Every structure is written in C-alpha cells, then in structure tokens.
Structure 1
C-alpha cells in the first residue's frame, strides 16, 4: 500500500504501518497531555500501541488460518481505522472462507479471556464497556477493546469478518457470486440502519456506515467481475498491435508516439524484447517539463510495473494493476518476451464483445465493475485480496 513504511517481516509476512498512523499517535498524545500531562500522554500512546498489537495478532489469526489452505499473505498494513491483511489469492471454498474469517475474532476472544483471568475479580462490565475512560485500569481497558473488536468484526457486513462468515454460510447452498451479492445487500441494509442511528446518536457511525455501504458494493461487483471473466485468459483480451519504446530512446520519441497513436502507455523494451519499464502519459509530460526531450526514457520511466503471463486469468491482470497502481501491464510469454499489453479500457471493450451473445445485464454489470475498479484502484487494493478491518 502506498504511503506505508515497513516495520519488519514475521514468518514471511511484511508488517507495514501507514504514515497516517503517526497522526493518530500525535493526536492521542496531545489529547492525553491536555488531560493529565506527560504521564497521561505516554500512557495514552502506550495504550494505542497495545491495541494495535492486538490488531496485528488478529490479522495473524487470519494469516495462520489461510496458510492451512495454502494461501500466502504477502503483507499486513496498520491504518488508524484498523489492520488490513492482503491474501495472495481468494479462498475457493466456503469452508476456507469461514475458517479464515473467524480466526481473527477468535484471537481477540483469547486475548480478552487471558486478560480477564489475570485481572480476575477486579473486573466489572461497566469497566469493560468503557475502554475510552483513562481512569479505568490499563489491562481492563485492553480487555474491553478486544471484546469490542470481536463484536464489531462480527457485524454481518463487508469488509468486516462477519460479512465473510455470512457469505461462507450462504455459499454452502448458493453459487459464490449469488452468496456474495446477498451478503452485500444484507450488509448495506445494516449500513443504512447504522447511518440512521448515527444521525441521532453519533456522527462517527455515519462515516462507518458510508464506508461499510460502499465496501459491500465493491465486494459484490468484484465477485460479479470474477464470475464473468472466468475462463477468459489475458491472451484473449490483450492488445497485440501496440507501440513500444527502445531502452535507448529519448523522451522526445515518447512524445511523438503519444501524439501519433491512441496509446497512453508505452512499454520500454531492451534488445531482447524484455520489459524494462513503462512510460505513461503522466511520466512523459513530467519528463518534458523537468528534463526536456533529450532525456533518456530509462531515467524517467516507471520501473515498479509488474508483468503478467499471457495464460493468466483476466482477474489476475486486474488485481496486479490495482496493487501496482498501474494504468497498464505488459503481457509476457514463457520466455519473458513482451507479446501484448492490457489496460482497463481494452479489457472492458474486448470482454464486452466476447460476451455480446450473453444477456445485456451481464455486460452492464461488467462495465459497472470496471468503472468501480478504476474509481477505487488507487484507494483500495483488490477487495478480494484484502482481509477485513482488525
């Protein structure tokens, strides 16, 4: 995820923290300092850090369960609103989805139970339900937060774990896409109710409701997209007639191609026809302003663009574009030579033509899916590759 810093690697999974997390710690410090001075400020920051350690353990609960089914987790990212674990691929069976989703909240149940055992008789429900009160004992507040995480995450709405548990239960009897749609609609209904409740009691609930509503919509559309693109490979939709740039080319040549063709992205290839980088419309314009037409393209091209195999499914290409924040991807063959190029527009157009003999509603759904993907690709990683908030 962009704007995140790597803290370290645990069991093959990168633990990252978003830069906005620092803003949360600063805000907590200031608020507690105003209440009780430096001591209260340090305790407030320590409490937030402890909460997010519980969130990390929650996410590693998902990770441990996913690995039982052979699903790797490249990284988890801590955000001010929780944690996100990115799975390498989707669960393929309802049982997998159920176990992976429920594993995170179970970790919080264990943490809360251990704290209650340690604190013992000093605990009361009033204290557990007031984790925001700095006058309550540190461990008691931490137990209360873990109880809250369980209850919040088990709300049957995406992107919370409860939404995925609900989908898994429905998928035992219904097709996956239908189960996702039904679970999303239930979650959206709860979001609307949450928003109405928030109007009268808490503005924060309105923000949560909006987030839940659109997350459910994105999940449903992503499932429809996956269903429609099933059986369609990258080679079926890639562009094979496209312009490229040699690695020794200058920015001026990229400008000429930009003006002479309808392309906005140009793969940069070496002498062997292998991918070196990508020149986009934005990088061309920026290079002209900053370095001029004579600058080598290899000094200004994007090098963080992945390649995709021509035999990969279409949804794999879409996921890679989203994760990299890339407008296009080069397509390679078994020898890693570039044989094609894909972007959001060509995938949408060619798949719509491929499915022209199917119902019009499916084409409409696919078009809507691509619109949603383009809208959210810079904000959210592929919905199906992101686990719930911790």
Structure 2
C-alpha cells in the first residue's frame, strides 16, 4: 500500500504502518506535552501504542477467523483511524462472514475482561468517557478503550464490523447483492452523521465518516459488479485485439510496437501461439535505460504471468488476477494458445460501463491473437 512500510510478519501476514500513523503519534505527543510536559507526552504516546496493539489484535481476530475458512490475509495496515486487514476475499457464506466480523470485537472483549477481572483495573463511567485522561491508571484506560472499540466497531455502518454483521444477517434472508446494497446505504447514512457530529465534536469523526462513505460505496459497486458478471466467461471481457512479440524480438521491436499501438502490455508468444512471458510498457522503459536496442525481450520480460482458460468464469479470472497482483492475465484456449489478456485497466472499464448501464450485455468474443 502506498505510503506504508512493513514492520513485522505475523502468521504469514505482513504488518504495515501507514506514515500518517507516525505523524499521528507525533501530534499526540505534542498535544500532551503542551498540557503536562514530557511525562504527559510520554504517557500519551505509550497509551496510543498500546491502543493500536489492541487494534492490531482486533484485526488478527478477523484474520485467524478468516483463515479457518481458507481465506488468507497477505497484509494488515495500521492507520490513525484503526487497522485494515486485506482479506483475499469475503467469506462466501453469510454465517462465515458473521463469524469473521464478530471475531475482531470479541478480541477486544477478551482484552477488557482480562484487564478488569484479571488485573483488577478499576473502571468507571468517567474513565470510559475520558480514556485519554492521564490521571487514570493505564490499565483502566486501556480497558475502557477496548470497550469503546467494541461499541464503535459494532455500529451497523458498513463496512465496519457491525455493518458486515448486518449484511450477513440480511444475506440469510435475501440475495447477497441486495443485502450489500441495503447495508451500504445504511453505512452511507451513518457516514453522514459521523461527519455532521465531527463539525461540533471532533474533526476526526469527519475523516472517519469520509472513509466509511467511500468504502461503503466501493464495496456496493464491487458486489453489484460481481453479481452482474457472475455468469460471464473470461472471453466475454478479455482484450483480444492485441499484438504480440516473438521470442526473437528485441527492445527496438518492442519500441516500434509501443509507438504504433495503444498497448501497455506486450505478450511474448512462440511459433505455436503459446505465451512465453510479458513485457509491460513500464518494464520496457526501464529496460531501455539499462540495455541496448538489440537486447532480446527474453532477457527483460516477466516470466511468471498467471493464466486462465477462455471458457472459465470471469470471477475465477478476477480472483487469480487480484491474488497474483500481476499486470495482466493470459487467456488461453484449450490448446494452451494465447487468445487474449485480462488487465486491471479493462476490468475497470467494464465496471464503469456496468455502473452506467447495469443492463448492458457483454457478448463472448471469439477473435484470436
């Protein structure tokens, strides 16, 4: 993720920190310093670090629950507004999504219970209302913060945990797409209320409201797109009008192809029509700086490019493309010959068309390279 950097790897999941989180810690330290000097600033930063450790544990509650259903999580990123676990996919069954959504808040409940009943943290209404009060004990403030996290995350504002719980419950009685649409509308309404409250209470609520609104809109569009294209084969949306390079091509040949076409991905195909690799436009520019016009494309192309059969469901192709993070996906016929490409760009164009014309029918293409 842009502007984030890894700090650890836990159970095959990379933990990343967004640079704004560090800026947030500096801001917290400065705010506490103005109130109570160095000791207060140190106390504030320590409290925030512990709080975000609880947030990280919350996210790993989701991650471990998702792993139970065969869903991996390549990375989790810490932001000033919380953590975001990048699940490879949303659980297919409503009951599974319900368990994954509740697993995060359940971790915070356990943390609060251990601090209160195990370590004897004294909790009062004032402590919960002022979790940043340095006069209260650290254990009590952390326990109070975890209770706030539980309550906050269970607000039925999609895509927060409470919104996902709501969608899972709705999906038990209606279609997944319709459940997502209703949960997203509720989430957008809650986002508006957060932003409105932020004008009078805390500007951070405006940022949270904006995040919820954008995330709810994106999730609704994604699910609607997936639902509308679930019956389409890969060949119906692949880019079939492409030109290919041969194994004997050089960088000079690739430049000629780039200048006379609008392509950004250049497959390298042998005499039998089978792909050998892929040269992207960005990769070509880098190769031109480091090589010569006569450098073979075989020396600079990407070789580990995933592929999919043209008759397979589009959803299968999208899953492979998202998981691999590849610049393109080779589309092959039954003879393993290249007949097209699937790229993030042409998927984005398809989503744009679907958003404008949900009833648009994409017809299967049969043209080969």
> Which piece of structure 1 moves more, 20-29 or 50-59?
20-29
Distance 1:123 1:337 in 2: 67
- Contact 1:245–1:267, Cα closer than 8 Å, also in 2: yes
CA shift for structure 1 position 328? 3.5
- DSSP 3-state at the match of 1:71: coil
Do residues 279 (structure 1) and 276 (structure 2) align?
no
- Contact 2:108–2:149, Cα closer than 8 Å, also in 1: yes
Cα deviations by residue, 1:182-226 (Å, 9 ceiling, x for unpaired): 111111122222222323333322222222112111111111111
The 1:195–1:40 alpha-carbon spacing in structure 2 relative to 1, beyond 3 Å, is: closer
Distance 1:136 1:23 in 2: 25
Query: Any unmatched runs of 5+ in structure 2?
Result: 363-369
Cα deviations by residue, 1:64-105 (Å, 9 ceiling, x for unpaired): 222333333333222232212222332111111111101111
Do residues 178 (structure 1) and 178 (structure 2) align?
yes
Q: Please give the residue correspondences for 1:41-120 in structure 2 after superposition, counting only pairs within 5 Å.
A: 41-120=41-120
Q: Please give the residue correspondences for 1:1-16 in structure 2 after superposition, counting only pairs within 5 Å.
A: 1-16=1-16
Distance 1:35 1:351 in 2: 51
Give the aligned length.
359
- Contact 2:330–2:341, Cα closer than 8 Å, also in 1: yes
- DSSP 3-state at the match of 1:331: strand
The 1:109–1:140 alpha-carbon spacing in structure 2 relative to 1, beyond 3 Å, is: same
CA shift for structure 1 position 3? 4.2
Partner of residue 208, structure 2: 208
Distance 2:85 2:349 in 1: 32
Partner of residue 238, structure 2: 238
CA shift for structure 1 position 254? 2.2
Distance 2:248 2:114 in 1: 62
- Contact 1:278–1:305, Cα closer than 8 Å, also in 2: no
Distance 1:56 1:246 in 2: 49
- Contact 2:157–2:212, Cα closer than 8 Å, also in 1: yes
- Contact 2:247–2:297, Cα closer than 8 Å, also in 1: yes
Distance 1:50 1:351 in 2: 41
The 1:205–1:18 alpha-carbon spacing in structure 2 relative to 1, beyond 3 Å, is: closer
Distance 2:290 2:202 in 1: 49
CA shift for structure 1 position 300? 6.6
The 1:297–1:35 alpha-carbon spacing in structure 2 relative to 1, beyond 3 Å, is: farther
> Which piece of structure 1 moves more, 122-131 or 41-50?
41-50
CA shift for structure 1 position 134? 2.5
Which of 347, 351, 359 is the equivalent residue of 1:362? 359
Q: Please give the residue correspondences for 1:175-324 in structure 2 after superposition, counting only pairs within 5 Å.
A: 175-246=175-246, 249-268=249-268, 273-280=274-281, 282-284=282-284, 293=293, 303=302, 306-310=305-309, 312-318=312-318
CA shift for structure 1 position 123? 2.5
The 1:100–1:351 alpha-carbon spacing in structure 2 relative to 1, beyond 3 Å, is: closer
CA shift for structure 1 position 256? 1.1
- DSSP 3-state at the match of 2:156: coil
Cα deviations by residue, 1:115-150 (Å, 9 ceiling, x for unpaired): 122453733110122122233221111112111211
Structure showing greater relative contact order (alpha-carbon pairs closer than 8 Å, 6 or more residues apart): 1
- Contact 2:123–2:144, Cα closer than 8 Å, also in 1: no
Query: Any unmatched runs of 5+ in structure 1?
Result: 367-390
Query: For the pair shown, which has the larger CA radius of gyration, 1 or 2?
Result: 2
RMSD of the TM alignment (CA)? Answer: 3.6
Partner of residue 367, structure 2: none
The 1:69–1:135 alpha-carbon spacing in structure 2 relative to 1, beyond 3 Å, is: same
Partner of residue 374, structure 1: none
Distance 1:275 1:82 in 2: 43
- Contact 1:304–1:324, Cα closer than 8 Å, also in 2: no
Distance 1:165 1:226 in 2: 20
> Which piece of structure 1 moves more, 162-171 or 253-262?
253-262
Cα deviations by residue, 1:155-179 (Å, 9 ceiling, x for unpaired): 1122201111010111111111011
- Contact 2:94–2:172, Cα closer than 8 Å, also in 1: yes
Partner of residue 366, structure 2: none
The 1:70–1:350 alpha-carbon spacing in structure 2 relative to 1, beyond 3 Å, is: closer
Distance 1:121 1:28 in 2: 24
Distance 1:327 1:67 in 2: 27
Distance 2:351 2:189 in 1: 32
